[in-house]
Amino acid sequence: MDEVIRIGIAEYAVSRKPVVLRTAGLGSCVGVIIYDQERGLSSMAHVMLPDSAISRDITVEVGKFADTAVTELVKRLRQGGAIRLRAKIAGGAQMFQFKYEHESMRIGERNIAAVKAALQQAKIPLVAEDVGGTNGRTIEFHSSSGRLVIRTVNVGTLEI
């Protein structure tokens, strides 16, 4: 049985060995998995917000924002010898319905778009996704097989 690494909100992890990367509580947040199957390298970030430019903190929590999380995961994987990176994403739900939906309240959609833009900028192909909707998700990436298991509240389990 592979070791399970839990990734909390705004956190990330990178591994060079067979592991299960798991994060729970993906509502409007997006789980980003970037991996090199052939080299056995894998990573996951639990992205909360689309853009680090909105941060008021002097030191930015790298895993918190789509732009910084994707950049950091790619950098660390490449330092570890990754060549053929691929990505999978899940999450980005619209958890709350507002009577007057302002663009700033559509965090899930904005997170999805920002993650996809960051992946595209890094030239990482997005090979699978399960995004949007109105329900939260828990995801597990099995690095040895490349399977992403997604448990969606009130929906069930999906594997991509």
- Rounded Cα distance between 1 and 144, Å, is 11
Catalytic residues: 29
Encoded tokens for 1: 């049985």
121/148 Cα distance (integer angstroms): 23
**136 and 153 in contact (C-beta within 8 Å)?**
yes
User: Which helix (DSSP H) or strand (DSSP E) does residue 114 occupy?
Assistant: helix 107-121
Please give the structure tokens belonging to residue 82: 């990754």
